[in-house]
Structure 1
């Protein structure tokens, strides 16, 4: 059974969902909302209390200020607010993409709240030697959104990320009003802050939280493969391989859940 909750926070309200029983496991992305992680959460719920949520300003998590920047620090504070509402002093966290960046911010901003962080393909562009060029690509992507709209912006985003977009002449179908709102939030108030986040490597290495860097088995062609390897090298570890690519948790949720269980049990 899945229960849904609304949590008042300063300036807004957070939507989160809880399913299953057992140790608390946060499962998240950014800008991906709770719906995107439903199949994975269902697969994990037989032996975990799985908590998913909509990030600040995305889908059902609404904030009064439409210009509020969705920084990793803000998102980390929101996750801790959910833990507090649950009465959970500690938890494990699986974060993918921007959710992995949220998790890294949480480890250093709120020490002791996480037992294990699995950071799956965080887009930490600032760790790469060509960070300045990648920063310029991000700015151009935002400008494309402002000039040409959602479809063109997402196509450019996917191309920048390393996906093959040659077979796609345009966006798949008409975006809903929710898609438009979420896209505006992402391109105007989230993408820049997430990709420019520079983790405190010394603090991560000294933390009592175990940090595991996750990488998709078929993500070798993606930009997030480079960033994941760069983070793991700085932490003195090697990436742990997960099924699929950047969205493997959607395409193979049961296999992905099995791998995540093995990682958390180590």
Structure 2
């Protein structure tokens, strides 16, 4: 594995590169970082040059200015700059959770840079019939954080979305997992304070994405949960169908080899 830092307007992006073959960029959800995608990247590295990175504002990708509200479009520009640094050819993209929202915006505005996108469980609550409730929830979570701290806010978010907060970095866990969970504690606070409200207003550009090389996917164990609903809503918004991938919301981390094979099939079908 090689690693480096890419200077972009307002931030310095930490990234890692594994393998050889066509470029495959992974974009992970808010609070997570490159380590969450590392097992998947290893499993895919015999077929692709896999690029993983910490999104701007995460611990290893610090902002170069004061904290501010994060915009999906700004993160999409970061992804574009990483692709440009990797080479001129269109790249495959796998993106999950809020990273999938970023990737949808990247594909809509820069279609020539993406060979195919698999967007996994994008939390586009603005497309649900109860969108107003989800907008209120974003405000309530920020207020709850101000009153009681990040722990209660994350527990409330987990109860509503069906995605529990990450566990404590238990000493019995592998060292790389403990390090990742320690970083996530700081990253999730940044996500709640600076991403939650602006990201909750995002809706993909249906006109730009209809007929685009995008696959909407959800985990087989996510059926019936809010992120299954949002994935189906985005698929309908774009005039396509959603497909199933192994596992739950983090199936790519729990069963990376099985997930990698299914993802490869979607990328190359």
Runs of 4 or more consecutive aligned structure 1 residues displaced over 4 Å after TM superposition: 173-177
Cα distance in 1 for partners of 2:99, 2:169 equals 26
Matches within 5 A, 1:23-172: 23-31=22-30, 32-163=32-163, 172=168
Match of 1:227 in 2: 230
Matched, 1:201 2:206: yes
Cα distance in 2 for partners of 1:63, 1:217 equals 36
Give the conservation status (yes or no) of the 8 Å contact 2:20–2:48: yes
> SS in structure 2 opposite 1:95?
strand
Cα distance in 1 for partners of 2:169, 2:45 equals 33
Give the conservation status (yes or no) of the 8 Å contact 2:68–2:194: yes
> SS in structure 2 opposite 1:57?
coil
Structure 1 residue 195: deviation in Å?
2.2
Match of 2:191 in 1: 186
> SS in structure 1 opposite 2:79?
helix
Cα distance in 2 for partners of 1:41, 1:70 equals 26
Structure 1 residue 42: deviation in Å?
0.4
Structure 1 residue runs without a partner (length 5+)? none
Residue-by-residue CA offset, 1:218-263 (whole Å, 9 max, x unaligned): 1013211111001111222211100111111111111100100100
Structure 1 residue 185: deviation in Å?
1.1
Residue-by-residue CA offset, 1:87-110 (whole Å, 9 max, x unaligned): 233101000001100100101122
Match of 1:246 among 222, 243, 249: 249
Match of 2:239 among 236, 244, 260: 236
Give the conservation status (yes or no) of the 8 Å contact 2:25–2:83: no
Question: Per the alignment, do residues 222 and 65 of structure 1 end up closer, same or farther by CA in structure 2, a change over 3 Å counting?
Answer: farther
> SS in structure 1 opposite 2:108?
helix
Structure 1 residue 190: deviation in Å?
0.8
Cα distance in 2 for partners of 1:57, 1:196 equals 19
RMSD (Å), alpha carbons: 2.0
> SS in structure 2 opposite 1:93?
strand
Structure 1 residue 138: deviation in Å?
1.6
Give the conservation status (yes or no) of the 8 Å contact 1:24–1:92: yes
